[in-house]
Amino acid sequence: MLPPFDPWYASQVCADILVASHAGEDSLAVRRARRLSALLASAADGSPRYRRLLKGSDPGTVKLEELPIVRKAELMDRFGDWVCDPAVSLDVLRRFTTDPAQIAAPFLGRYVVWESSGTSGEPAIFVQDARAMAVYDALEALRRPVLRPLRHFFDPLGIGDRIAFVGATGGHFASTVSVERLRKLNPAAQSRLSGISFLQPIQALTAALEAHQPSVIATYPSAAVILSEERRAGRLQVAPSEIWTGGENLTTAMREFIEQAFECPVANSYGASEFLAIASECNAGRMHVNSDWVILESVDAHGCAVPAGILGSTTLLTNLANHVQPLIRYDLGDRIVLSGDRCPCSSALPVIEVHGRDDDTLWLGTRAIPIVPLALSTVLEDEAGLFDFRLEQRSSHTLLLTTGMAGVDADRLLDRARKSLGQFLAQQGVGGMKIRCKSGTPRPCGRSGKSRRIVGIPRTSGPPYSSVARARSGALSRRQLQCGVGSNPDPALQGQRATGLFCKSLHGGQAHPGQRVVRLRGGERPEGSFRNFGRHPHPGVNH
């Protein structure tokens, strides 16, 4: 059976998205209000939870900010009370998502299903119908930056591209489900669309890429950096025309490194399992929210809106496309800065800066083999069932795996995780790793309440990207170190006036000498300057 697809509705949505891409703020606000009203009416009709909440209210006049903030754990605990279709049962969904043969298969004959990673606990499951998928498809296809204008003129949807998605291909993640769904819907595109697992050894990964010879590589920034190093070393013979990244932070330094290695432009996007295509870059390099279909509220620790230009504590997401599983003021956990400025590209879609995941790539063993953070978390979550963890590199051959859980069950889980991790690393060519485990050790929290789960140590030698390592070995000054990658800043420099070198190195020349630099979790930015980061996996999708 084919995955859910509604061609008539999809064509309507495409036409509307094309118009809305050039619409003014008022026109976007009208679309948002109309869709929010329809979402609330549908939630009040189908979801027992929202029927109680909205009883006696007119969905057309309810103010979004008056509705309660909801969180993943609470919604998953009361799944049956939340969804609008009583036939969608969490137990059946859990069984469905443990079977790899069911990836992209229609659930109950009418729904697309995927699960999130367990970044903040047990994975959530998301169910969407053909109408929601039509919106995601159209946003993914029509709101990308035009990196190749001539090509775009003749092939606006990129139908002729050979796309390789490099990610966790074995699970029901949004990115993998999306790729498999497209392959099933269009058998003619199967040879052009390839999902390549980043859990395999790097030699096998590069061989698979060379066999596919993609014109587009879609992957995570950390994986793109490793592939860049392989290409620079002559071990990866592919010549893509574009690299699409998402799912993690993409720093300016990473972007430049990837673009130089592959000699092609990078397009970054931001999405989540909760909404596949939240924002994408424009040709001016700013991240625009698809505000005609998704509402983002940047709020402080008390849930109050924060003004433009200020980093919020978390972000509330309202998905205007999914009427099966209403996501209304859902706490996404990411932190964003809303820009108060209009972008030079003239789009009225709001500009944001996103602060997402900032786990490290680990360089392990005598040969310093790189292992990307999402591969490590996939092994620990999917194979060992361990979600509450911190994996810390202590040396080239030693890792410390801790969990906040305590007791016999926690120790048993850690033991299983240690074995899975050891096997996985051996497959990558990193044998003899010592993995020490400790239960009852809660992760230290950052200011946002989120914390890094995978923490590496700097490299002291290796390929040219490792500017942090070179700085620490004395090749660069402390100031350059702070600029180079944008993480682990030296607190002593916080709030200081920047020098030209400082700004140019960190911000690609966007900041000005003398501008005050604000230190934020995971990096710095000059006041008033907004750069794009990402947190999404697919050619835009987040796990």
- What's the min distance (Å) between Cβ of 22 and Zn ion? 12
144 binds Zn ion (CB under 5 A): no
Q: Which is nearer to Zn ion, 482 or 532 (CB)?
A: 532
- What's the min distance (Å) between Cβ of 349 and Zn ion? 8
Task: Choose one: 121-129, 220-228, 336-344, 352-360; the region binding Zn ion (CB under 5 A).
Answer: 336-344
The binder of Zn ion chosen from 18, 284, 308, 501 (CB under 5 A): 284
Q: Report whether 302 contacts 63 (CB < 8 A).
A: no
- What's the min distance (Å) between Cβ of 23 and Zn ion? 14
- What's the min distance (Å) between Cβ of 271 and Zn ion? 17
Sign (positive or negative) of CA dihedral 74, 334, 64, 30: negative
Q: Which is nearer to Zn ion, 352 or 517 (CB)?
A: 352
Q: Which is nearer to Zn ion, 189 or 345 (CB)?
A: 345
Q: Which is nearer to Zn ion, 130 or 289 (CB)?
A: 289
Q: How many residues lie near Zn ion (CB under 5 A)?
A: 6
Site track for Zn ion across 340-369, x = CB under 5 A: ---x-x-x----------------------
Task: Choose one: 172-180, 234-242, 303-311, 338-346; the region binding Zn ion (CB under 5 A).
Answer: 338-346
Distance CA 43, CA 251 (A): 39
Task: Choose one: 277-285, 330-338, 435-443, 466-474; the region binding Zn ion (CB under 5 A).
Answer: 277-285
- What's the min distance (Å) between Cβ of 158 and Zn ion? 20
For residue 455, what are the CA distances in angstroms to 400, 451, 522?
10, 10, 13
The binder of Zn ion chosen from 13, 282, 311, 364 (CB under 5 A): 282
Q: Which is nearer to Zn ion, 343 or 469 (CB)?
A: 343
- What's the min distance (Å) between Cβ of 353 and Zn ion? 13
Q: Which is nearer to Zn ion, 341 or 409 (CB)?
A: 341
By CB neighbour count within 10 A (0-12 exposed, 13-18 middle, 19+ buried), where does 22 fall? exposed
The DSSP symbol for 187 reads G
Site track for Zn ion across 24-53, x = CB under 5 A: ------------------------------
Distance CA 31, CA 35 (A): 6
Cβ-based neighbour number of residue 213 at 10 Å? 13
Q: Which is nearer to Zn ion, 255 or 286 (CB)?
A: 286
Distance CA 14, CA 527 (A): 37
- What's the min distance (Å) between Cβ of 246 and Zn ion? 17
DSSP for 7-74, written as a single string:
HHHHHHHHHHHHHHTT--HHHHHHHHHHHHHHHHHHHHHH-HHHHHHTTT--TTT--GGGSPPB-HHH
| Size (the chain), residues | 543
Task: Choose one: 20-28, 147-155, 211-219, 286-294; the region binding Zn ion (CB under 5 A).
Answer: 286-294
The DSSP symbol for 83 reads -
Scanning the structure block, which residue is given the tokens 């592919």?
238
- What's the min distance (Å) between Cβ of 266 and Zn ion? 16
What is the Cα 188 distance to its own chain's centre?
28
**Three-state secondary structure call for residue 464:** coil
Q: Which is nearer to Zn ion, 82 or 270 (CB)?
A: 270
Q: Which is nearer to Zn ion, 64 or 345 (CB)?
A: 345
- What's the min distance (Å) between Cβ of 350 and Zn ion? 10
Q: Which is nearer to Zn ion, 164 or 279 (CB)?
A: 279
414 binds Zn ion (CB under 5 A): no
Q: Report whether 326 contacts 50 (CB < 8 A).
A: yes
Q: Which helix (H) or strand (E) holds 216?
A: strand 216-219
Start-end of H helices in 437-524: 467-472, 478-484, 500-507
Q: Which of 295, 320, 315 is nearest to 305 (CA)?
A: 315
What is the Cα 114 distance to its own chain's centre?
14
Q: Report whether 222 contacts 247 (CB < 8 A).
A: no
- What's the min distance (Å) between Cβ of 130 and Zn ion? 30
Angle at 405 between CA 404 and CA 407, to 5 degrees: 140
Q: 454-455 and 434-438: which strand pairing?
A: unpaired
Read off the amino acid at residue 15.
Answer: A
Q: Which is nearer to Zn ion, 453 or 536 (CB)?
A: 536
- What's the min distance (Å) between Cβ of 268 and Zn ion? 13
The structure tokens listed for 529 are 């300057």
286 binds Zn ion (CB under 5 A): yes
Task: Choose one: 199-207, 256-264, 284-292, 362-370; the region binding Zn ion (CB under 5 A).
Answer: 284-292
List of residues contacting Zn ion (CB under 5 A): 282, 284, 286, 343, 345, 347
